[in-house]
Structure 1
C-alpha cells in the first residue's frame, strides 16, 4: 500500500516480494553497527523477519517501517517510518538506507515526510527516536528535524546504551 510521496521518493508498505532487498539491508555493516544484527541470513529468514517486524505492525498499528523507493526509477533505497516500540513511551521515527544511497539527502527527505505524516495525518503530539551512541550522521539528521536529545538509556533488547531523542509535534 502506498503511504506518501516526496519530491524524489515514494514510501509504501513492504511486501513479501521485498524479502531479497530486506536480506541485503539488514546485513549492511551500517545496519549491524548502528541498529542490531537480527540474524537474518536467508530469504526465508528475511520473510519471517518481515512478517514479525513489518507486516504485523501494518495490521496492528496502521503504520510501521516503510519501503523507500526513488520515484524516478522505482529503485528501493532503504526504509523509513513510524513505529511504537515497547521500550519507548511514544512512537518513534526510524530509518536505514543501503550504504550506496547514503549522503544524498534521501534519509532526511523521507524522515521529514514521516514527521509531517505523524503530525498531520496521525495527529500525534510527540515523536521519539533512538540511535547508537556513536552514530553522528543520525544524530545530525535528527537535529535538522528538531529532535532534542534526552540522554542515554539502556533499553531492553539492546546490548549497549542508546541515545534517546524527542520531538514535540
Structure 2
C-alpha cells in the first residue's frame, strides 16, 4: 500500500517480495552497529522478521516502518516510518538506508515526510526518536528536523543505552 510521496521518494508498505532487500539492509554494518543484529541470514529469516516487525504492525496499528524507494527508478534505498515501542510513551520515527544510498539526503527527505504524516494524518502531539549513543549522523538528522534530546535510556531489547529525542508536533 502506498503511504506518501516526497519530491524524490515514495514510501509504501513492505511486501513479502521485499525479503531479499530486507536481508541486505538488516545485515548492513551500520544497521548492526547502530540498531541491532537480528540474526537474519537467509531470505526466509528476512520474511519471518518482516512478518513480526512490519506486516503485523501494519495490521494492528496502521503504521510502521515503510519501504523507501526512489521515484525516478523504483530502486529501494531503505526504510523509514513511525513505530510505537512499548518502552517509549509516544510513537517514534525510525529510518535506515543501505550504505550505498547514504549521503544523498534520502533519510532526511523520508523522515520529513513521516513527521508531516504523524502531524497531519495521525494528529499526534509528540513524536520521539532513538539513536545509538555514538551515531552522530542520526543525531544531526534529528536536530535538522527539530528533535530535542531528552537523555539516555536503557530500552528493552538493546544491549546499550539509547539516546532519546522528542519533537512537539
TM-score class, shorter: over 0.9
1:38 maps to 38
- SS of the residue aligned with 1:11? strand
Aligned to 1:111: 111
In structure 2, the gaps of 5 or more residues are none
1:168 is matched with: 168
For 1:88 and 1:102, how far apart are their aligned partners in 2?
A: 27
Q: How many residues align?
A: 169
TM-score by length of 1: 1.00
Q: Which runs of 4+ in 1 moved over 3 A?
A: none
The superposition leaves residues 86-131 of structure 1 with CA deviations (integer Å, 9 ceiling, x where unpaired) of 1111000000000000011000000000000000011010000000
- The 1-side partners of 2:157 and 2:71 are apart by 35
Question: Hey, what does 2:58 align to over in structure 1?
Answer: 58
1:60-75 mapped onto 2 (5 Å cutoff): 60-75=60-75
- What's 2:21 paired with? 21
Aligned alpha-carbon RMSD (Å): 0.3
CA distance in 2: counterparts of 1:113 and 1:144, whole angstroms:
13
What is the rounded CA distance, in whole Å, between the counterparts of 1:165 and 1:22 in structure 2?
A: 26
CA deviation after TM superposition for structure 1 residue 153, in Å: 0.9
Unaligned residue ranges in structure 1 (runs of 5+): none
SS in 2 for 1:142: helix
Give the match for residue 80 of structure 1. 80
Partner of 1:149: 149
Q: State how far apart, in whole Å, the 1-side matches of 2:18 and 2:157 are.
A: 26
Residue of structure 1 equivalent to 2:96? 96
Rounded Cα–Cα distance in structure 1 between residues aligned with 2:144 and 2:56: 31
Q: Return the offset for 1:157.
A: 1.0
When normalised by structure 2's length, the TM-score is: 1.00
Shift in Å at residue 165 of structure 1? 0.2
